Amino acid sequence: MKLKAPFFMTMIVALSFAAAGCSTGGMFTAANLTDVRLQTGNFKILARGVTGEASAGYLLGLSVSAGMATNTFALVRVDGTGLLYKEALDGLWKNFESAHGPAEGKKLALVNVHYDSDALNLFVYTQAKVIVRADVVEFTE
């Protein structure tokens, strides 16, 4: 059976689009050697349960979330930047500052940080969402 040129070109274009699609995957795990002890009374809790969230929408794809991990494979991103963890943390700090003033110049730390993720999958549209929740403490002298 002989392949026709239009069919062959259509297949090349379709495969090119599929290969150039959007993919994001991630789980935010922070590991560092900072040892902060919140037991000596050198801090005060400024805010409890401050949240931030971010989402990104895609066409022709699939999103999977499990706890703090979210993965997406799709053809085209139509909403959001795909930097879900960064945007969620930025939103958390923005929400904190709107209620408690600027964080600049203060000795603040996030404690009890929780990451949650969610995925919405429809036939042609998928959306991944990350939610960050934390308490904010300020260290005193």
Query: pLDDT (tens digit, 9 = 90+) per residue, 33-71?
Result: 566 666 677 889 999 999 999 999 999 999 888 777 888
Q: How far apart are CA 3 and CA 7, in angstroms?
A: 7
Asked whether the predicted pLDDT for residue 8 surpasses 90, the reply is no
Q: Say what the alpha-carbon torsion angle 52, 111, 128, 29 is, to the nearest 10 degrees.
A: 150
Q: How far apart are CA 23 and CA 20, in angstroms?
A: 9
Q: Which two tokens stand for residue 20?
A: 């150039």
User: Does the residue 18 lie in any domain?
Assistant: no
Q: How far apart are CA 61 and CA 76, in angstroms?
A: 8
User: Does the residue 14 lie in any domain?
Assistant: no
The pLDDT value recorded for residue 65 is: 83
Work out how many domains the chain is built from and give that number. 1
Question: Which domain, by its residues, includes 27?
Answer: 23-139
The pLDDT value recorded for residue 25 is: 56
User: Does the residue 107 lie in any domain?
Assistant: yes
Q: What is the mean pLDDT of the chain?
A: 82
| DSSP secondary structure code for residue 2 in this structure | P
User: Does the residue 121 lie in any domain?
Assistant: yes
User: Does the residue 10 lie in any domain?
Assistant: no
pLDDT band at 2 (very low <50, low <70, confident <90, very high): low
User: Does the residue 17 lie in any domain?
Assistant: no
pLDDT band at 123 (very low <50, low <70, confident <90, very high): confident
User: Does the residue 44 lie in any domain?
Assistant: yes
User: Does the residue 74 lie in any domain?
Assistant: yes
